[in-house]
Structure 1
Amino acid sequence: MYCQNLQAALNYTVHELVEARRPIITLTTPKGVLDTKRFLAQITEAEPRLMLSVERFCYERLLVGNKEKIRIEVMYTQVMTSFVEIIEDGDDLRQAFLRAIRLHRKAIYVVFKKERRQALDSAADTFFKDPEILEGYLEKYRTHSTRMHDCSYLGVIYDLTYSCSYKEYRRRQTEMAQKVREIAKLARRYGQEDWKRAYGVVCYCVEHWTYERTGTEYTAYSALVQNKAVCMGFSLAMCMIMKELGIPCRYVSGKRQGNGHGWNLIYLKGGWFYIDVTDAVCRKDPLYHWGMVNMDDRIMTTPVNERIQCHCPASYVRDNIRRHS
Structure 2
Amino acid sequence: MPADEIVGVPIYARALEHSRWGRHMSEPWGSSQSDAKEARTYREILEDPFLDGQEKTRTMAESTVAHAVTLLLQRGDRDTAALVLDVEAIKVEYDDQNEEWEIWLEVAPEHYPRFTREWTETFSDVCKEISRRMGYYEFYLAVRETLPEVGPSWRDQLQDQLTSTRRPTNQARRARAEPPRFSQDYLAFTNQGEQTVYRALRQIQEQDLPSDETIGIYPLAGGRVPGKTWEPDFLVTYRGRAGVLEVDGPHHNARRALDTTREHLLRDAGIAFVDRIMAEAVENSAELNAVLRRFLRRLRETA
Shorter-chain TM-score category? under 0.3
Taking structure 2 as the reference length, the TM-score comes to: 0.25
- Which structure has the greater CA radius of gyration? 1
